[in-house]
Amino acid sequence: MLSSNAQHVNTITGASPDQETHYRFPTARLRTTLQDSTREPLVLVACGSFSPITHLHLRMFELAADYARHSTNFELMGGYFSPVSDAYKKEGLAPAKHRLNMVKLACEETSDRWDVDPWEATKAAYTPTALVLDHFDYEINTRMGGVEVRQGERDPETGMPVKRRVKIMLLAGSDLLKTMSDEGVWDANDLNHILGNYGAFIVERMGADIKKATSALSAWSNNIHQVEQTVLNDVSSTKVRLLLRKEYSVRYLLPESVVDYIEENGLYSRPFHRQGSTSVATGEEHAKPNWEKLLTQISK
């Protein structure tokens, strides 16, 4: 069942009163009128840690946009990053405020089409992906009423703009799809809610067999779109964090504004042991790099 009101969305996900008062759904980059009235409007939502956001995260939206335009009857109206909250206990997870800032900087630097929604990231409790999609469905289809079919077209009886419901879909890499196909990893009801009611655009990731994962989810095959990477990109947040801990450059793996933000805020660096007022690095930091070991680590 799709969400139908604010009380439903906020009650089942535990939104705080403070968040309800100050939160505003971001619409500045959301197109609200179809360019082609014969197409079905689509909004993609990418959930994840984004610790930190990389060029591949941004590239996924571009690949999905090309796929939607050339291989489907969808018209992409917008795309949103929805970072997880601090309640999601994961190694290497920077505080939500920093992850939100980095995603915002990345979107502002690289595109005028993609945006970040702080709703999930600022919640005190962990929010399942199924409920995040309910949130977007409520904000766009219930509160906004969908998007206009044609600029200025109005219903002759009501005088209101003629609108069409927007299809909300998850955007993810094939590595996430693989976890969905593994028995016992995802709640069965959540999986049916995500893939049955919404669907997903799945972008090819190196090391994840997208066809094998899809075959295990055949019940929802009509709602799963497989998007190939036209140019393979294997960068990941995990690899970036490892490079940063080893004090290696990550420029050109991330947007420049994100690299600068990481440096300015000292994110992902290994802790120094303090002796008096002098910073003394451990022997591991000053040791000659073992490139074979490092490359093995970052390829996992």
Q: Which residue has the higher pLDDT, 295 or 251?
A: 251
pTM, to two decimals: 0.85
Of 128, 126, 122, 119, the residue nearest 87 (C-alpha)? 126
The dihedrals phi and psi of 65, each to the nearest 5 degrees, come to: -65, -45
Cβ neighbors of 15 (< 8 A, separation 6 or more) are 9, 23, 123
Q: What is the mean pLDDT of residues 11-38?
A: 78
Please, which pLDDT band fits residue 17 given cuts at 50, 70 and 90? very low
Q: What is the mean pLDDT of residues 202-229?
A: 85
- Alpha helices in 182-255, H assignment, sequence order: 188-192, 210-215, 237-245
Please, which pLDDT band fits residue 258 given cuts at 50, 70 and 90? very high
Reported as a single tens digit per residue, the pLDDT across 104-147 is 999 999 999 999 999 999 999 999 999 999 999 999 999 999 99
Element holding 83 (H helix, E strand) = strand 74-83
Q: Which residue has the higher pLDDT, 166 or 279?
A: 166
Please report the domains of the chain, with CATH numbers, ordered by start residue: 6-227 (3.40.50.620), 237-298 (no CATH)
- Whether the pLDDT of residue 61 is over 80: the answer is yes
- Whether the pLDDT of residue 276 is over 90: the answer is no
